[in-house]
Chains A and B, each alone.
Chain A
């Protein structure tokens, strides 16, 4: 395990399920082995218990103290430009792309299909040149 992401105070997490789905929040305290106290004043997540099954840990860790006040959490969150870092990260981009895919119109889906066909055709052509004949 090269870069293990630990649950720690200040770990930024992405919410996968529930009413806060799609938002970023910060782990402010740990309740027990299944729940954390989570806060995201800058992203619209009220301070609340959150089961670990609902969140994914991100690469970002903030210098937040245990049970720090919401307003101070907001200050640290904004000063570290977390949303910007998240949108630039691979995981953040992946989510943005999957949202884009879900909102494709019929015509856009058609254009995508045509482009994919073109790409695979070009790929197959090149592979044929390189392929070893048995």
Chain B
């Protein structure tokens, strides 16, 4: 017996559910120190600020300590530590995914433009520098313990006898 099916192909209506941002793992909360695992800033200890709408984590070095700017980082490339820093004095509520969007250039697609020598890189915008300073001031100012400062400046390093699966962070 052949299974019944309608003569006309009917599109199944699928209800689209709102995407939730990824769950924060390791009990991570604002002010927590994370270790970056990949990229230019591998091994650096940074401070978690908040989770952005897209799910990525907003972190900052602070820039003066370890050269890590306000940055978006996927959670999978971080290791949360149990150390927490006070970030209540810092305002980063205005930073969202749109803040990190690339500026669109209206390039004319002509032959000359294609073969012309590449334009110089646009300098880092002053507005972003100011934002970095203001966010970091609220954090760095509250870190009085010199050991914590040194801790944030130092990179995480594995040595002989240290096995990540046995380490407690």
Distance in angstroms between the alpha carbons of A103 and B167 in the assembled complex: 8
Out of A102, A105, A114, name the residue touching B83 (CB < 8 Å): A105
**B66 sits at the interface (CB 8 A):** no
Out of A103, A104, A106, A114, name the residue touching B150 (CB < 8 Å): A114
Distance in angstroms between the alpha carbons of A110 and B35 in the assembled complex: 13
Residue-wise interface mask of A (80-112) relative to B, using a CB-CB cutoff of 8 A (1 in contact, 0 not): 000000000000000000000011111100110
Contacting pair B35 A106 (CB below 8 A): yes
Distance in angstroms between the alpha carbons of A125 and B20 in the assembled complex: 58
Out of A103, A105, A114, name the residue touching B147 (CB < 8 Å): A114
- Which single residue of chain B is at the shortest CB-CB distance from A111? B147
Contacting pair A104 B168 (CB below 8 A): yes
Q: Which residues of A contact B169 (CB under 8 A)?
A: 105-106
**B156 sits at the interface (CB 8 A):** yes
Distance in angstroms between the alpha carbons of A121 and B110 in the assembled complex: 65
Q: Which residues of A contact B166 (CB under 8 A)?
A: 102
Contacting pair A110 B151 (CB below 8 A): yes
Distance in angstroms between the alpha carbons of A110 and B148 in the assembled complex: 10
Contacting pair A110 B82 (CB below 8 A): no
Residue-wise interface mask of B (42-58) relative to A, using a CB-CB cutoff of 8 A (1 in contact, 0 not): 00010000000000000
Contacting pair A105 B81 (CB below 8 A): yes
Contacting pair A106 B81 (CB below 8 A): yes
Q: Which of B58-101 contact A (CB under 8 A)?
A: 81-83
Q: Which of A60-79 contact B (CB under 8 A)?
A: none
A-side interface residues toward B, CB under 8 Å? Answer: 102-107, 110-111, 114
